[in-house]
Amino acid sequence: MSGLFSVLWGPFADFGFMRRALVACVTLGMGAGPVGVMLQLRRMSLIGDAMSHAILPGAAIGFLLAGGLSLTAMGLGGIGAGLGVALLAGLVSRRTHLAEDASFASFYLTSLALGVLIVSARGSNIDLLHVLFGTILAIDGPALYLMGGITTLSLGLLAVIWRPLVMECVDPGFMRMSGARGGLYHMVFLFLVVINLVAGFEALGTLMSVGMMMVPAATARLWTRRLLPMMALSALVGMGAGLVGLLVSYHCHLAAGPSIILTCSVLYILSLLASPAGIRAGNSLSL
């Protein structure tokens, strides 16, 4: 028993960096999970992925201005870049016949290329790797406070805009005709997506932070058809995957970030095999 305890808890009892990484995973899972569910239900999964790339140039500029990995500077830059791309994509889709996902695709690729160019021109390859894939084992106290603040803001805002967001998802036409400002809530929601991605990128990098948002959400959707339990389960899956991923990384000497996301993926695949709405159900259930 004590052997099992030392395997499961030992790394966190012995090392402060493991405890901080665990707190980061719990915080990220709690914030990103519910947002991921809503993103999927709005059929915007790939827009989340695009957004995670879009924040790169802002993060890169913050990185350069701060002279290194600073979540505050990179976070502010990332929020600016993410919202800029969201606004531009929204503007283009309203002024042209291009759909919003097509505008996102164009802008995020531009943004990604710009971000890599900035980091590689002024920083080292190690810096580039840190920005792209994160350093969850190097999270410090201030970064945790920022993550906690973002998660609190995210859950609070989600609760505030809950009703219009749900209504806008189900029936945007009725929402507009009822005089509600659907576009405003859409933008607030995109803001939530951006800040959660920003919260995750010091831990998991700009490329993988979206994993904490989308994979747990997809897993949760396989287990329940109710919205609130779906969001709670998505958060739990993210937090659980963080714990298991960190342990796997510690005991098997693997990179922590990818271990966490791969644990999310394993849970997703197991859910596909075992859940009532998984592959056993075939096409009879559509969630």
Partner 1 sequence: MIQGTIGLDNAGVVLNGAPVWQHVTGHFAAGSMTAIAGANGAGKSTLLRAILGEVPLAAGTITLDGLHPRDFGYLPQARKIDRAFPISVADMVLGGAWHRMGAFGGATRALRQRAADALDRVKLGQQAGRMIDALSAGQFQRLLFARLLMTDARVMMLDEPFTALDAPTTQDLLGLVCEWHEQGRTIIAVLHDMHQIRRCFPHVVLLSGGRAVWGETARILTPATLRQAYDGMQPRWPDTDA
Contacting residues toward partner 1, per CB under 8 A:
41, 43, 97, 160-161, 163-164, 166-167, 169-171, 173-180, 185, 225-227, 230, 286-287
Nearest distance in Å: CB 10, partner 1:
40
Nearest distance in Å: CB 246, partner 1:
31
Name residue, tokens 């714990």: 243
Cβ-count burial 212-242 (b if 16+ within 10 Å, e if not): bbbbbbbbbbbbbeeeeebbbbbbbbbbbbb
Q: Which is nearer to partner 1, 69 or 233 (CB)?
A: 233
Of 285, 41, 32, give the one whose Cα is nearest residue 168.
Answer: 41
Q: Which is nearer to partner 1, 226 or 253 (CB)?
A: 226
Q: Which is nearer to partner 1, 120 or 178 (CB)?
A: 178
Nearest distance in Å: CB 1, partner 1:
41
Nearest distance in Å: CB 28, partner 1:
24
Q: Which is nearer to partner 1, 164 or 200 (CB)?
A: 164
Give the side-chain half-sphere CA count within 13 A for 255: 13
Nearest distance in Å: CB 167, partner 1:
5
Nearest distance in Å: CB 225, partner 1:
5
Nearest distance in Å: CB 163, partner 1:
6
- For residues 196 and 200, give the distance between their C-alpha atoms in angstroms, rounded to a whole number: 6
Q: Which is nearer to partner 1, 138 or 287 (CB)?
A: 287
Which ranges of the chain would DSSP assign to H, the alpha helix?
2-14, 16-41, 45-54, 56-66, 71-95, 100-122, 125-133, 141-160, 162-170, 172-177, 182-208, 211-221, 227-252, 256-274
Of 118, 148, 142, 147, give the one whose Cα is nearest residue 70.
Answer: 142
The separation between the first and the last C-alpha atoms of the chain, rounded to the nearest angstrom, is 41
Q: Which is nearer to partner 1, 41 or 131 (CB)?
A: 41
Residues 6 or more apart whose Cβ sits within 8 Å of residue 183: 90
Q: At what angle do helices 16-41 and 227-252 cross, to 10 degrees?
A: 140
Q: Which is nearer to partner 1, 163 or 251 (CB)?
A: 163
